[in-house]
Amino acid sequence: MLSPSTAPRPISATIAAVIRDNQVLLVRRANPPDAGRWGFPGGKIKHGETLFEAATRELAEETGVSAEPLRVFTSVDAFDHDTTGNVRHHFILIAVLFRWTAGEPVAGDDALEARWFELGALNDTSLALSLDVAEVAHEAALMAEVLA
C-alpha cells in the first residue's frame, strides 16, 4: 500500500479563457492528455507561481497573445488514462478569464495550432474539442459580458 506521501495526487494547472468579439482563443494540443484536440491554452502551475502568473505565462508560451487576467471563474477535472483504462494523471484545471489586449495567435510551446473560434462553432459535434471546452467557453463569454 502506498503511504499518503507517495500516493498519486491531482496536478494543479491553469487554463486561459480569452474572449474577443464573440470568439474564444483555443489551441490544438500536441501532448497528452488530449493530444490533437482543441482546448484552452494552459498548463501546470510552477512552484511559487500565482494562478494569474501561470495562466498568463502559458497563454504567452502557447499563443503569443497578450491579455489581462480578470478572475478565476470555474475549474474542471481532466484525466489521462493508460491503454488499460487506469488513471495515469489527474489534472485540476483552474479557468482564468482574460481580456485580450494585443497579438494574433501563433502556435508555440506544446501547441500544434492556435486560433480564434466563433462561440457558436463550438457546438459543432465534428470539432475535436477536449472535454468541457464548449461549456467553459460559453461560461467565460457570459462572465466577460458581466465584467464589460
pLDDT tens per residue across span 122-132: 988 888 999 89
Query: What's the average model confidence in pLDDT over 76-100?
Result: 93
Task: Find the CATH number of the domain harbouring 136.
Answer: 3.90.79.10
Radius of gyration of the chain, Cα coordinates, nearest whole angstrom = 15
Which pTM value belongs to this model? 0.91
Query: What's the average model confidence in pLDDT over 66-70?
Result: 98
- Cell matching residue 114: 492556435
The Cα 120–Cα 123 span in angstroms is 6
30-67 residue pLDDT tens: 987 788 999 999 999 999 999 999 999 999 999 999 99
User: Looking at the domain assignment, is residue 132 inside a domain?
Assistant: yes
User: Looking at the domain assignment, is residue 3 inside a domain?
Assistant: no
pLDDT averaged over every residue in the chain: 92
Is residue 1 very low, low, confident or very high in pLDDT (cuts 50, 70, 90)?
Answer: low
The Cα 127–Cα 104 span in angstroms is 21
Set 113, 118, 135, 139: catalytic member: 113
User: Looking at the domain assignment, is residue 45 inside a domain?
Assistant: yes
User: Looking at the domain assignment, is residue 38 inside a domain?
Assistant: yes
Q: What three-state secondary structure class fits 139?
A: helix
Question: Is 135 assigned a catalytic role?
Answer: no
Q: How many domains does the chain have?
A: 1
Query: Distance of CA 50 to CAs 35, 57, 59, 79, 145, Å?
Result: 26, 11, 14, 23, 25
The predicted structure's pLDDT at residue 131: 86
User: Looking at the domain assignment, is residue 125 inside a domain?
Assistant: yes
The Cα 64–Cα 107 span in angstroms is 8
Q: Give the domain extent around 24.
A: 11-147
The Cα 86–Cα 80 span in angstroms is 8
User: Looking at the domain assignment, is residue 44 inside a domain?
Assistant: yes
- Could you tell me what percent of the chain has a pLDDT over 70? 97
If phi > 0 it is left, if psi is from -120 to 50 it is alpha, else beta; for residue 64 that is left
User: Looking at the domain assignment, is residue 5 inside a domain?
Assistant: no
User: Looking at the domain assignment, is residue 127 inside a domain?
Assistant: yes
